[in-house]
Amino acid sequence: MFILLAANLTLILPTIQSRCQILKFLPLSKDEISLELKQSGVDPEKSRLLAFFNSGDLENAAEIDWQELEAKRSAMLSILDRLLRQSAVEDILLDLYDRSRSRDSFITYFREMVNLISVLLRDIMVLMVDGESTVLINSDYKEKLMELAALTNMDKVFYLIRKMEYLLRDIQRNLNARVLVLEFINSYATEAGHSAQEARPV
């Protein structure tokens, strides 16, 4: 008896698949991971965030450095603040250009940046709908997110979330790093009146 493991079934030849009994295992839910972390003694709020910012793997969640994650979230909140206010954007641009010299490390950083900012934008949109919502992901940043929500509008936030989705797709396509940087920066310079339908793949 052979046990074959594959994250992608298409990697297994059809002739082999036809001779196998296929069992599919789903990753743990975020709630399950959070519960396991809490039962192991992790603070409830930290457990919730660690569970959210991982790929559905309990071991990975347990190994995430909380201080490193918190530093990244704080840095992305600061960047989002500057982008929405259009303040010191040149510094962000120069930093990204500098990082783009090393493509592999830049792609890792940029993907993480887009992911974290997308989640912050999602929370801003939630607060626009219900300022007392209890479903925020970054609930510890609620006061600051409310402040940022006052700087923009629903159409603009929805536009930006869609643009972040396109940027994540373009990262996978290995587009030129500087093209990605300019798309990212220009998204926030776009007039707030733009609707979500104006966000188009590049």
Rounded to whole angstroms, the Cα distance separating 54 from 36 reads: 14
Q: What is the pLDDT of residues 5-54, one digit of tens each?
A: 888 888 889 999 999 998 888 777 888 888 888 888 888 888 888 888 77
Tokens matching residue 59: 């071991």
Mean pLDDT of the chain: 84
Q: What is the pLDDT of residues 142-201, one digit of tens each?
A: 999 999 999 999 999 999 999 988 888 888 787 788 888 998 999 998 754 444 444 444
pLDDT over threshold 80, residue 62: no
Rounded to whole angstroms, the Cα distance separating 109 from 51 reads: 20
pLDDT at 191: 55
* Ramachandran angles phi, psi of 110, nearest 5°: -70, -40
- Residue % of the chain over a pLDDT of 90: 37
Q: What is the pTM of this model?
A: 0.73
- Under 8 Å between Cβ of 44 and 35: no
Tokens matching residue 15: 């002739």
Topology (CATH) of 65-198: Zinc Finger, Delta Prime; domain 3 (1.20.272)
